[in-house]
Amino acid sequence: MIVKRDKLTFWEKLYVPAIWGGLKVTMRHALRKNVTMQYPEVKWAVPPGYRGAPYLVKNQEGRTKCVSCQLCEFVCPPKAIRITPPGPQGAPGAGNVEKGPQAFDINMLRCIFCGYCQEVCPEEAIFLMKDYSLTGLTRGEMVFDKEKLLKLGGVHDDRIQKWEHKAEEAAHQGVAP
Ligand code: SF4
Ligand code: SF4
């Protein structure tokens, strides 16, 4: 089958109009407002209530809020949480905590950011933060340990203030808190 091609006109043979047309498109895009996000230096502003990575938090007195009840470990659908309870009594930063976690790991490769751990936690000790971009060079790096989770979680305003009640009760009963 022979394809019949239209003959080029004089202007088409010059190629100048086609080059000019291409340059016009290039200039139009060059002068447009930049729409490319400079990721990762610039990141999306996520909406309130966004469910990102789960981290442990401390109260405003710097105490670990988790009491290693293991409810989050039990409820986590992909079994991403591993807790080793309890921590030694009087561990640094433990304060009056009777049963702080000795180890608390979350495998971020398994986590599906469902928020069940946050929902179930009786101590408001774990929250899904806004981090959505978690990277690591190895699988091991993606298992966040207690220290890392607490560092990333930071301080959360503790509305329960149970430590103060405990200290008050201890003082009232003449027992050292
Ligand atoms: S957000 Fe869901 S999957 Fe992730 S650690 Fe919590 S319960 Fe498990
Ligand atoms: S984070 Fe909350 S639910 Fe999980 S072990 Fe600690 S206190 Fe229990």
116-173: per-residue pLDDT in tens?
999 999 989 999 999 998 999 999 999 999 999 999 999 987 766 665 655 555 565 5
Which ligand 1 atom sits nearest the alpha carbon of residue 126? 6
Would you say residue 24 lies in a domain? Answer: no
**Count of CB atoms situated within 10 Å of the CB of 127:** 19
Residue 152 alpha carbon to ligand 2 centre in Å: 16
Q: How many domains does the chain have?
A: 1
Tell me what pLDDT residue 96 has.
53
Would you say residue 72 lies in a domain? Answer: yes
Q: Which one, of 105, 102, 65, lies nearest residue 87 by Cα? A: 102
Would you say residue 168 lies in a domain? Answer: no
Nearest residue (CA) to ligand 1, atom 7: 76
Ranges 45-54, 83-92, 139-148, 159-168: which has the least confidence: 159-168
Would you say residue 21 lies in a domain? Answer: no
Tell me what pLDDT residue 91 has.
54
Residue 83 alpha carbon to ligand 2 centre in Å: 9
Tell me what pLDDT residue 83 has.
94
Which range of 15-19, 85-89, 162-166 scores highest in mean pLDDT? It is 15-19
- Is pLDDT at 110 greater than 50 in this prediction? yes
- Is pLDDT at 177 greater than 50 in this prediction? no
Domain that holds residue 65: 54-162
Q: Where are the beta strands (DSSP E) in 25-177?
A: 54-56, 81-84, 103-107, 126-128, 143-144
Would you say residue 155 lies in a domain? Answer: yes
Does 54 sit in the ligand 1 pocket, CB within 6 Å? yes
Tell me what pLDDT residue 176 has.
44
- Ligand with smallest separation from the Cα of 117: 1
Tell me what pLDDT residue 80 has.
97
Would you say residue 33 lies in a domain? Answer: no
Does 76 sit in the ligand 2 pocket, CB within 6 Å? no
Residue 3 alpha carbon to ligand 2 centre in Å: 74
CB neighbour class for 17 (10 Å; exposed up to 12, middle 13-18, buried from 19): exposed
Does 50 sit in the ligand 1 pocket, CB within 6 Å? no
Nearest residue (CA) to ligand 1, atom 4: 111
Residue 55 alpha carbon to ligand 2 centre in Å: 11
Would you say residue 85 lies in a domain? Answer: yes
- Is pLDDT at 62 greater than 50 in this prediction? yes
Would you say residue 135 lies in a domain? Answer: yes
CA angle in degrees (0–180, nearest 5) for 73-146-127 = 60
* CATH number of the domain encompassing residue 120: 3.30.70.3270
